[in-house]
Structure 1
Amino acid sequence: MADRFMGTLSVMQGGPIDESAAAVRVPRPPDPGRSRNMRAIRRADTKPELALRSALHRAGFRFRKDHRLDLDGVRVRPDVVFTRRRVAVFVDGCFWHVCPTHGRQPETNDWYWTPKLRRNVERDKIANEALTSAGWRVLRVWEHTPIEAAVDLVVAALEHASEAN
C-alpha cells in the first residue's frame, strides 16, 4: 500500500468542508498505465548514459559502470567510474535532478513530486561532498549536453586527475 499514489480528498460528506480535513490523503487504486510508466523509468543504463559510455569506450577508455562506492557511511553509485584515477561521472536527467535550464515543476501531484525532486538534489549534494572529501573528482553531466562536449569534459577531468597523481 505504501507504493500506491495518494490522492487529495476534496469533498467531505455531511457538513461544511473543513480546511484541515481537505488535505487528508486517501489511497487511490493503482492505475495500470501509471504503474507501467513508473516501472519503465530506469535508474541505470539510460539513453544519455549509454551514449556517453559508448563514446568513451570507442575513444579507448575503460571504466566501471554503476559501481557502488562506500564512503564514510555514504553509499554512492556514479554512472561511470574511473577507479584508478578516482573520477566519478554522473549523467543527470533534467527532470529528476532539476536542471536549471530544462527542469520543470510538475503541474499535477506537486505534493508528491516537489519533496521527491528536492530529495534527489540533496542526495546529489551529499554524494558530491562525500566523493570530494574522499579525494575523488566529481563530474556531473546533464542529459542535454551534446555527447562530444560530455566526452571532452570527461577526458579533461581524467587528464587533470592523471597530472595530480
Structure 2
Amino acid sequence: MLANRSRDTGPELALRSILHGRGYRYRVNYRPLRDKRNSADIVFTKAKVAVFVDGCYWHGCPEHYWPAKTNVHYWAPKIAANKERDELFNEALAERGWTVVRAWEHEAPEDVAERVALALRRL
C-alpha cells in the first residue's frame, strides 16, 4: 500500500493542469475545514469549492469497483467506511457553505474541469 499515492495522482495532475491553464488558482491537498482531518485534492478557498478526485477502488466506484478476493473481512468494511466518510464530509462541507465537486479517476479531466468551472461560475 505504500505505492498508492494520496496526492499528485495522474488524474489529479491532469485536472490541475487544465484548471491552471484556464487561469484558475487553487490550493492542493488542503484542509477546507480546520477542525476536520479530511483534505480535498483541489480547493478554491475564496469561492469555497472543494474538489475530490476519487480512486475507483478506494472509494467504491459503481462502475469499476471490484471486491477483493483475499482478506475480504478487512477490505469490504474498509471501502464501506471510506464511502461513509466521504458522505459525512460532503455534508459537513455543505453545512458550512462549501460546494463539493467529486470526480472519479476514470472520468475525462476535461469534463471534470468543466464541472469545476461551472461550480465556480455559479458563485
TM-score (norm 1): 0.72
Q: Distance in 1 between matches of 2:110 and 2:50?
A: 18
Q: How many residues align?
A: 123
Is the aligned partner of 1:46 residue 2:4? no
Runs (5+) with no aligned partner, structure 1: 1-37
Which of residues 98, 111, 114 in structure 2 aligns to 1:149? Answer: 111
- 1:49 is paired with a residue whose SS is helix
After superposition, give the CA deviation of every residue in 1:106-132 in whole Å (9 maximum; x if it has no partner).
111111111111111011011101100
Is the aligned partner of 1:131 residue 2:93? yes
Aligned runs of 1:74-113 on 2, under 5 Å? 74-113=36-75
Larger radius of gyration: 1
- 1:99 is paired with a residue whose SS is coil
Contact persistence 2:32–2:45 (CA under 8 A): no
Q: Which has the higher contact order (CA 8 A, sep 6+)?
A: 2
Contact persistence 2:32–2:50 (CA under 8 A): no
> What is the alpha-carbon root mean square deviation over aligned residues?
1.1
Q: Distance in 1 between matches of 2:71 and 2:37?
A: 29
TM-score (norm 2): 0.95
State percent identity of aligned pairs: 50
Runs (5+) with no aligned partner, structure 2: none
